[in-house]
Amino acid sequence: MITSSANSQIKQIRKLRDRKERHASGTFYAEGLRIVAEATLSGAKIETAVVSPELLTSDYGQQLVRDLVARRVPILEVSAEVFKGLALKENPQGLSAVIQQQWHALEDVQPTVGSFWVALDAVADPGNLGTILRTNDAVGGKGVILLDYSTDPYDPTAMRASMGAVFSQHLIRATFSDFAAWKRRTGIQVVGTSGEASLDYQEMSYPDPLVILMGSERQGLQEHHWQICDSLVRIPMVGRSDSLNLAVATAVTLYEVFNQRRAKDVSQSSASHPSKGIIKQ
Amino acid sequence: MITSSANSQIKQIRKLRDRKERHASGTFYAEGLRIVAEATLSGAKIETAVVSPELLTSDYGQQLVRDLVARRVPILEVSAEVFKGLALKENPQGLSAVIQQQWHALEDVQPTVGSFWVALDAVADPGNLGTILRTNDAVGGKGVILLDYSTDPYDPTAMRASMGAVFSQHLIRATFSDFAAWKRRTGIQVVGTSGEASLDYQEMSYPDPLVILMGSERQGLQEHHWQICDSLVRIPMVGRSDSLNLAVATAVTLYEVFNQRRAKDVSQSSASHPSKGIIKQ
């Protein structure tokens, strides 16, 4: 059992708080029973599990460690003190893990009917990014394309907010020009949202497959992004402010896409089963 | 100019980081040019403005201070060091204020046609609360009713996330039983959202006036809340998870209410002005 925070492995793990280290190593540090369980279930590659037997008191947690051992995941036993030194949250549960990041390459993405993505330009707030991953998972979106200087989905705040969607959503990093080239090559339709657009987001019939392009928290969609968009839509507002939180604006748009596809599915299945009754077209 | 953080007024202001102190004094501490400007514009009662001339370098900030002086707001001049000691953010802009909280009493709320509220049971995350205030403002909602042990809208994180809506939204605190009594007395319709409801949130025709009741982040809507609801609706999801972020779920529901009312307004104005063309009923 490791009892010193000066241990080289522990020092290496602590460095994963830093985005540069996460990037260089291609790994991240995830803490807590729920998130380690989600990582395991999703098939993420766990490099090392960190366990403090003293803190890991729940049956569920102990079963989780036995599962990890059965999967031949290396276990690093540490003292409660060392564990707390690594922990980001108060009252840590005694289980965490170093996990491999999983990225997909934009050039490998072949848009197929029924699929949609969210592209985020320079999203800055990890909580927003995590929440967008969670919402996109909820509506059946494939993944998130992070353009240019976006925050890190493996930031602890983003991971927590994603409620496990960081493991199920396809994560893609790209420059805007790579994104533009991919759009031209595949012909995928891109719909941007902007307060300056004239088309109401509900008046749009969303194409399939589709990318929804969202601007950053500070600046919204920039003019140089407009040219890549096949359509621009506006979410109406009547209050004092002219903007919504980014995760909220993304969710409102995604639910419109989702609702249109649901309505279409129902109307198609109703056409083949007319006994289901009158359904709005 | 105050140059010591041990000054009694400065110590008193620093105490406003604590919710209990905010509650006891009926005030809160707001920091930054934008939020002080919003407070001023909204007519909030500013008890004291705190200014560090050394940090307040922008013309806009200096104009803001002249406006406050013209409104006879007491100005507390402090050194940059003292200001930084009070500040919650890095790189403070040199202007902050102690402002009176503004609460409305539930018994004074007379629901009128066209109005709607959000009621939140035990919302825990100040960022979620602030985001909900911002969204409710955007769709024309009147205010937010905080039930039982909810977090504080005057928490700095909530205030920041509200983007000024904390000043425009009506804020109401109530116990659940007071809320239930108010509902019985006024006859206002309450629609709750729950993953266990059978009615799709888009199949509901939302009454007017209306309260949307949302459960807490951890527990969702509790069974003892169901009895107060005239209807329960469910936001559909197809992903791994069975829940959305609270601010996202609230926004998705609020936009459905807003969209239904917009459609109704359009169809009514189109009935009286048929030349406007064919509009979806």
Per-residue CA distances from A265 to A137, A139, A254, A281, B61 (Å): 19, 14, 16, 10, 55
Q: Which residues contact B54 (CB under 8 A, 6 or more apart)?
A: B79, B80, B94
How many other CB atoms sit within 10 Å of the CB of residue A20? 9
Q: Which residue of B has its CA nearest to A244?
A: B135
Residue A270, pLDDT score: 62
Residue B8, pLDDT score: 95
| Interchain contact, A127 vs B131, CB within 8 Å | no
Residue B242, pLDDT score: 83
How many CB contacts within 8 angstroms connect chain A with chain B? 94
* A5 touches A85 (CB < 8 A): yes
Query: DSSP of B180-200, one letter per residue?
Result: HHHHHHH--EEEEE-TT-SEE
CA B42 to CA B54: how far, in whole Å? Answer: 27
* B233 touches B192 (CB < 8 A): yes
C-alpha of B212 from chain center = 14
How far off is chain A from B263, nearest CA to CA, in Å? Answer: 10
Low-confidence residues in chain A, pLDDT < 50: 272-281
| Interchain contact, A238 vs B140, CB within 8 Å | yes
Query: Which structure tokens are listed for A225?
Result: 């992004």
CA A120 to CA B154: how far, in whole Å? Answer: 30
Q: In a mutagenesis test of the A interface, which of B34, B125, B135 is the best target, namely the one with the most A β-carbons within 10 Å?
A: B135
| Interchain contact, B251 vs A244, CB within 8 Å | yes
How far off is chain A from B180, nearest CA to CA, in Å? Answer: 28
- Which of the 8 DSSP states describes residue B123? -
Residue A113, pLDDT score: 94
- B135 → closest Cβ in A140, A248, A259: A248
Domains of chain B: 8-100 (3.30.1330.30), 106-270 (3.40.1280.10)
Q: Which residues contact A104 (CB under 8 A, 6 or more apart)?
A: A143, A170, A171, A172
Q: In a mutagenesis test of the B interface, which of A248, A254, A281 is the best target, namely the one with the most B β-carbons within 10 Å?
A: A248
How far off is chain A from B140, nearest CA to CA, in Å? Answer: 6
Per-residue pLDDT tens, chain B, 281 aa: give them. Answer: 999 999 999 999 999 999 999 999 999 999 999 999 999 999 999 999 999 999 999 999 999 999 999 999 999 999 999 999 999 888 899 999 999 999 999 999 989 999 999 999 999 999 999 999 999 999 999 999 999 999 999 999 999 999 999 999 999 999 999 999 999 999 999 999 999 999 999 999 999 999 999 999 999 999 889 999 999 999 999 998 889 999 999 999 999 999 999 998 877 776 544 433 333 33
In chain B, what residues touch A142 (CB-CB under 8 Å)?
A: none
* A95 touches A46 (CB < 8 A): no
* B193 touches B253 (CB < 8 A): yes
Tell me the sheet residues that pair with A72. Answer: none
- Which of the 8 DSSP states describes residue B108? G
